[in-house]
Structure 1
Amino acid sequence: MTEPARAEPTVSVVIPVRDDAGYLERCLRALAVQTSPPLEIVVVDNGSTDESAAVARRHGARVVEQLQVGIPIASATGYDAAVGDIIARLDSDSRPGPEWVATVQRLFAEHPEADALTGSGLLETDEGESQPVRSRLYLGPYFVLVRWALANLPVFGSAMALRRSVWERVGDEVCRHDADVHDDMDLSVHLGPDAIVLFDDRLTLPVSARPLEHVPSMLRRGWRGMYTLARHWPQEHPLGRHVRRLRAQRSVRRRAALSAASRVA
């Protein structure tokens, strides 16, 4: 007997933006040609003085205003407003391929245990020149070092998705009013070491290399990363998180063994 096909979840795409109309236009054009269109696109206008909101409306996006400046509060506002089963997050300079939303849907349908999904970023110049070496040098350490610090895989804010039910669980805990935190890293902290976060390279997409073009900007991003982690210490110290993850894994194995034993009996 053929098993019924799993219903694919609906997807809300959230894009926080502040004075980035040009990149937003490009991102929304990419979303307009998805093989599986999202249920909705929520653009959070974070006090823009340019045409960002007008660009969003022209492409049929739902615009939500958040006048308190900061990526954490803008992102959280978008997640709060989303109505899809899945909340996918892009930045205004993300450039998703035509299968990106469909891949998010398919992966969550195939992995009902997953709390969140993430890809990485492929840095490119404003002229569209790909920078693979620079991408690995920047994002490779992010995933390795932050994964160690969190005892779990972190999500990457330019190419990630999580279940709305998961956001409803952690949304009141994130540091949405602190503009100095990296919102994706902060979200990863609050997902917890026992969350199931899956990486899939099919979600990796081109993003602008703008943040790495100047040394002060690079140093500022590095400082914000350290600040984000330190802000949660000592409660979320790496060693404590690793202990919690080990305990959670043992608990899962114990429940699986008991379940198997009961079936045999």
Structure 2
Amino acid sequence: MSTLSVVIPSYNDAAMLRECLRALAAQTRQPDELIVVDNGCTDDTAQIARAAGARVVVEPVRGVLRATAAGFDAATGEIIGRLDADSRPNPDWIARVMADFRTDPTLDAVTGGGVFYGGRAFWRFVGRWGYLGGYVVSMRVVLGRTPLFGSNFALRREVWDDVRGRIHLDDPRTHDDLDITCVLDPDTSVDYDPGLLMPVSARPFDRFAEFQRRASWAFHGLGVNLREVPWLTRLRLTAAGRRRRRARRAAYEVSLRSVPASPE
């Protein structure tokens, strides 16, 4: 049995964090470790986290990548899960994540989609199918692989150890999920599990300026990474990595078939 740490970066999101922690307390499979990263909060985020049994890690330098890195560095689990303070994981979220890794030892990271709560129905629809759906499709085209979704993913500890030195930690305009996706080794396998559907707040659509800011950060982070490894080079490397992953998966399935049945 692998161990799981859940990391939640937070900046002045105490009310939403409380609901996220309640959802985690209702999981059918509890996390082995729960970490909330206090990213310079001035509200009662830390008190709420501790009351729920979470370990609080303080990262005073503002930025979601900074906060995520601090939490991942502090995590002790073999699998590290990542949620946002406004995530509302379904009761089987952890169990499903662990099952994905348990049934496929060649899997390095898993992510899922999102559905929005709150706000207007129109924006919830646009958010799910245009914003998040467009993110997945466009990044598969540009990067040649499935992108991680920051409110809903998990990866193996060794994957984080590998990418830690390549992330753009000093860039305050970098999204953590996109930056980590961009610097993954070509052989790193990321699967999209459609059953890992995460309810998240529709607040990014409350104000156009907030949506514009998030979009500009995404384009900025993508530009930074594409200057380091150009588009066609990335596609070639990730395609070769997918072929090697398929070979590893096939070898694993052959090994399963070759194991003799135990006597009754």
1:239 is aligned to 2:244: no
Q: Which amino acid aligns with 2:178?
A: M
1:229 is aligned to 2:222: yes
Q: Which moved more, 1:157-166 or 1:243-252?
A: 243-252
Moved over 2 A (4+): 126-134, 245-258
- Alignment partner, residue 75 of structure 2: 82
Relative distance call for 1:255 and 1:144 in structure 2 (3 A) is closer
1:213 is aligned to 2:200: no
Is the contact made by 1:173 and 1:190 (CA closer than 8 Å) also made in structure 2?
Answer: yes
How far apart, in 2, do the equivalents of 1:255 and 1:122 lie?
A: 33
Is the contact made by 2:123 and 2:205 (CA closer than 8 Å) also made in structure 1?
Answer: no
Q: Which amino acid aligns with 1:196?
A: S
Is the contact made by 1:19 and 1:49 (CA closer than 8 Å) also made in structure 2?
Answer: yes
Which of 21, 29, 40 is the equivalent residue of 1:47? 40
**Percent identical residues:** 42
- Alignment partner, residue 56 of structure 2: 63
- Alignment partner, residue 182 of structure 1: 175
- Alignment partner, residue 15 of structure 1: 8
- Alignment partner, residue 192 of structure 1: 185
Is the contact made by 1:193 and 1:242 (CA closer than 8 Å) also made in structure 2?
Answer: no
How far apart, in 2, do the equivalents of 1:106 and 1:253 lie?
A: 19
The CA deviation at 1:257 is: 10
Q: Which amino acid aligns with 1:218?
A: F
Q: Which amino acid aligns with 1:243?
A: R
How far apart, in 1, do the equivalents of 2:123 and 2:195 lie?
A: 17
Q: TM-score, normalised by structure 1?
A: 0.89
Q: Helix, strand or coil for the counterpart of 1:43?
A: strand
How far apart, in 2, do the equivalents of 1:86 and 1:255 lie?
A: 20
Relative distance call for 1:250 and 1:84 in structure 2 (3 A) is closer
The CA deviation at 1:255 is: 8.6
Q: Which amino acid aligns with 2:153?
A: M
How far apart, in 1, do the equivalents of 2:86 and 2:145 lie?
A: 26
Relative distance call for 1:61 and 1:213 in structure 2 (3 A) is same
- Unpaired runs of 5+ residues, structure 1, are 1-6, 261-265
Aligned positions, number: 253
Q: Which amino acid aligns with 2:81?
A: A
Is the contact made by 1:122 and 1:130 (CA closer than 8 Å) also made in structure 2?
Answer: no
How far apart, in 1, do the equivalents of 2:250 and 2:124 lie?
A: 47
Q: Which amino acid aligns with 1:56?
A: A
- Unpaired runs of 5+ residues, structure 2, are 255-264
Q: TM-score, normalised by structure 2?
A: 0.89
Q: Helix, strand or coil for the counterpart of 2:9?
A: strand
How far apart, in 2, do the equivalents of 1:12 and 1:92 lie?
A: 15
